Structure 1
Amino acid sequence: MTSPNAAQDRAGLLRLASDPEDYRGLGIAPAEVAPFEDGLRIEDAKGTYEWWYFDAHLDDGTKLVVIFYTKPITEPKSRLAPVITINLDLADGRSIEKILHAAPDAFRASKDGCDVWIGDNHFAGDLHRYRITAEIGDVAVDIELVGEIRPWRPKSGHLYFGQPPREHLFAWLPSVPQGHATVTYRIGDAHYRTEGIGYHDHNWGDVPMTDLMHCWYWGRAKVGPYTVIAAYITAAEAYGYASQTVFMLARNGTVIADDDAKVVFTTDRVNADAVTGKPVADITRYEYRDKDERYLITFERAATILQAKFVDRLPLLKRIAARLIGFDGAYLRFTGKLTLQRFVADDLVEAVEEEALWELMYFGHARPPAV
């Protein structure tokens, strides 16, 4: 599958805000990210949501993901219902997932910067240095993340669905596109300390993502001297399955490419996942072309480390209701190889590869083949 031309595909129903009036209205600068952008950005109401995300590839072979949510991703129409998730995928093959549901009064967050509390668990930082502490049952993590690449966002970071005055928002801020993570984690009575490559981003929106999006692929990785963040978002049927590619490429800590209009997204070897039934591509590619220089970034799936049907995570009565109305959302997380190839005048001049972590989020039924 090849992505259509992004500008044509949107057809006025999907836009990544980037006009001068957009920046003025949002109170942000085109290139510089302000600390308040990583603070609480949206008022709690039915349909709104917000989360702060961290992941890391650690030197002991562990992959760690920690997320602080204002409400469960499966229940966006609820009011404030804070949640924390911890996922540990260990080198010995164990996968550990912990979920903490907290009372509304356990949540507090600053609007001036990232300073989020859910009970005694804390996610805080200043766009460069972060401290994340969380404990759920017999698993605890203590993380220090120090940024190695400046905060970045795709243009304004605000993706709007529909047309004025009924536009709806999905926002995304990669506050730390790449950083050095120092992590202490505990599993039962066993304590571990290690380091690795970390990442932090922040999302929020004003209506449930299920109303706006059909699916997305998202991944990030460090490979040789390069850092890659890449996503391909497909809007819901109501927005014509319009698409938006997000892409950032940095070399030695400096962003060298982030123009989504110069990227083509493709997939290959697509088959139905045995657990969720969703179509999953073994190969996803992002090709960035600028004059006679071309970068080809290929994610090749080796394993699916998380397969979750959203309906299975709902309370019993809501689970029954969701099944009755045909709710079919799912989330999959993959590991595999990322290969980056650099071409000049179609000559391959550089190639590097590394292990990577990426995801596929599905908010509804698989698209009909004829679409």
Structure 2
Amino acid sequence: MQARLMDQPADFKRLGINPDQVEPWEEARREPPAPGHNEVWYFDATFADGSKSVVGFRPKDPAKMATATDSPNVNIMLTTPNGATRSDFHYFTAAEATTGTTVGCDLQYGTDTAKGDFKTYDIHVAPTNGVGCDLHYEALTAPFRQGTGIVAFGDHDEDHHTDLAVPKNKVTGTLTYDGVAHQVTGLGYHDHQWMTTNPISLYHHWLWGRMYTNRYTVYIYDFVAAQRYGFAQLPMFGLLDNETGNLLFETEGQFTLAKTLSRQPQLKRDFPKNSHYVFTNADGASVDLAITWQDELEVRDMYTNLPASAKQQFDAIGAQPAYMRYYAKGTVSYTDATGRQTTSRGDMIYEYAYLGKPDPGAHI
């Protein structure tokens, strides 16, 4: 079976997607509440005081994706300036929630809301259990999608998983924790994903992250499909200009990747310590991206301690999921079609979702 990025003229035509511009309807709900289908509007931010926020709105509980009805939910995770974590989940009935289906992000899940249009977003999570936020996002870059934003799986594109992002935003507002509303200012990221099945069944692994330098915003979602899809390499990559907010470079799919691996003792697997990408396009433009992680921020074994019944479900699809999140240093060099080159450096937080079993053919 094949896996491919839907980026051909026939794909845009069939899906009704404008190849030249991201349009507001693309930010509305894209999936029906059918079994296996779900989506997420994701927002994160890092603030000047050292605090961090992650918020996700989903019309279906990931644990209930096999059902044919909505089970709306909101998750929030805050990290305080001293590194402590505060988190909460809010669950609502379908009758308590509205997920807009026409234009823009228009979510009303009980007490919580997310509304936006690629230019601004306003996020409210009520501090029902003492953890909440009121945040305003102001886009500093244009929205980015690779091709149609859709990765299709199967010989007839039977399944899909997607990403549509606003990679860089100015974020202001308040985080509520420990009984106090804290004023914050910082930078953040937003994306919208929709899918027809659990991504764990589709991918062997991915590296996802973004980097802000003084000149550029780097977006990368380097997917490698599961074994039954031939470990197909499906990179999404964009380089945006901080001054104009416009896209400078979007990969055409031609790239090389050199890595050095490091053993993670808790997970007993090799993960890239250094990742060196070189993306080249037909017009001669290229981007050289070198990433070296400095610190492990999160180590998560999603398989070993599961009950036998859950392990059997993963075993049936060849999955043995684990997750890493890193703080890294990065260097990006951009060469435009005329040969002019500029180089910039920055800090990066990225995740490495290692979902399949170790395999020498999986491009780890």
Does TM-score exceed 0.5, indicating one fold? yes
User: Is structure 2 residue 275 aligned with structure 1 residue 284?
Assistant: yes
Cα 1:273/1:83, change in 2 over 3 Å:
farther
Shift of 1:31: 1.7
Distance in 1 (alpha carbons) for counterparts of 2:336 and 2:133? 44
Distance in 2 (alpha carbons) for counterparts of 1:94 and 1:254? 36
Shift of 1:236: 0.9
Distance in 2 (alpha carbons) for counterparts of 1:153 and 1:199? 14
Name 1:194's counterpart in structure 2. Answer: 184
Match of 2:205 among 212, 215, 235: 215
Distance in 1 (alpha carbons) for counterparts of 2:299 and 2:184? 27
Distance in 2 (alpha carbons) for counterparts of 1:313 and 1:148? 42
User: Is structure 2 residue 169 aligned with structure 1 residue 179?
Assistant: yes
Match of 1:296 among 288, 295, 298: 288
Query: Is the partner of 1:321 in helix, strand or coil?
Result: helix
Name 1:57's counterpart in structure 2. Answer: 46
Distance in 1 (alpha carbons) for counterparts of 2:276 and 2:97? 39
Shift of 1:299: 2.5
More displaced 10-residue stretch of structure 1: 77-86 or 243-252: 77-86
The question of whether the paired residues in 1 share the 8 Å contact of 2:59 and 2:99 is answered with no
User: Is structure 2 residue 148 aligned with structure 1 residue 156?
Assistant: yes
Name 1:8's counterpart in structure 2. Answer: none
Name 1:358's counterpart in structure 2. Answer: 350
Per-residue CA shift, 1:149-196, capped at 9, x if unaligned?
1222101111111212x531112111x221111131011223211211
Name 1:43's counterpart in structure 2. Answer: 32
The question of whether the paired residues in 2 share the 8 Å contact of 1:221 and 1:357 is answered with yes
The question of whether the paired residues in 1 share the 8 Å contact of 2:31 and 2:195 is answered with yes
Name 1:131's counterpart in structure 2. Answer: 122
Shift of 1:311: 5.7
Name 2:111's counterpart in structure 1. Answer: 120
Letter in 2 for 1:360: Y
Name 2:250's counterpart in structure 1. Answer: 258
Shift of 1:109: 0.5
For the aligned residue pairs, the C-alpha RMSD in angstroms reads 2.7
Distance in 2 (alpha carbons) for counterparts of 1:74 and 1:334? 26
Letter in 1 for 2:131: V
Amino-acid identity (%): 25
Shift of 1:364: 3.2
Name 1:306's counterpart in structure 2. Answer: 298
| Pairing 1:265-276 to 2, within 5 Å after superposition | 265-272=257-264, 274=266, 276=267
The question of whether the paired residues in 2 share the 8 Å contact of 1:245 and 1:265 is answered with no
Letter in 1 for 2:309: A
The question of whether the paired residues in 2 share the 8 Å contact of 1:74 and 1:313 is answered with no
- TM-score, structure 2 normalization: 0.87
Distance in 2 (alpha carbons) for counterparts of 1:153 and 1:135? 31
Letter in 2 for 1:60: D
The question of whether the paired residues in 1 share the 8 Å contact of 2:251 and 2:280 is answered with no
Cα 1:64/1:277, change in 2 over 3 Å:
farther
The question of whether the paired residues in 2 share the 8 Å contact of 1:107 and 1:117 is answered with yes
Cα 1:267/1:293, change in 2 over 3 Å:
same
User: Is structure 2 residue 59 aligned with structure 1 residue 67?
Assistant: no
Letter in 2 for 1:54: F
Match of 1:103 among 71, 93, 108: 93
Match of 1:322 among 297, 300, 310: 310
Distance in 1 (alpha carbons) for counterparts of 2:97 and 2:302? 23
Cα 1:278/1:140, change in 2 over 3 Å:
farther
User: Is structure 2 residue 219 aligned with structure 1 residue 229?
Assistant: yes
Letter in 2 for 1:223: T
Name 2:12's counterpart in structure 1. Answer: 23
Cα 1:212/1:287, change in 2 over 3 Å:
same
Letter in 1 for 2:344: V
Cα 1:292/1:249, change in 2 over 3 Å:
same
Distance in 1 (alpha carbons) for counterparts of 2:131 and 2:24? 30
Name 2:229's counterpart in structure 1. Answer: 239
Distance in 2 (alpha carbons) for counterparts of 1:300 and 1:172? 24
Shift of 1:359: 1.0
Distance in 2 (alpha carbons) for counterparts of 1:74 and 1:329? 16
Distance in 1 (alpha carbons) for counterparts of 2:57 and 2:304? 20
What are structure 2's unaligned runs of at least 5 residues?
A: none
Name 1:341's counterpart in structure 2. Answer: 333
The question of whether the paired residues in 1 share the 8 Å contact of 2:222 and 2:235 is answered with yes
Cα 1:201/1:167, change in 2 over 3 Å:
same
Shift of 1:140: 0.9
Cα 1:294/1:21, change in 2 over 3 Å:
closer
The question of whether the paired residues in 1 share the 8 Å contact of 2:276 and 2:291 is answered with yes
Cα 1:190/1:48, change in 2 over 3 Å:
same
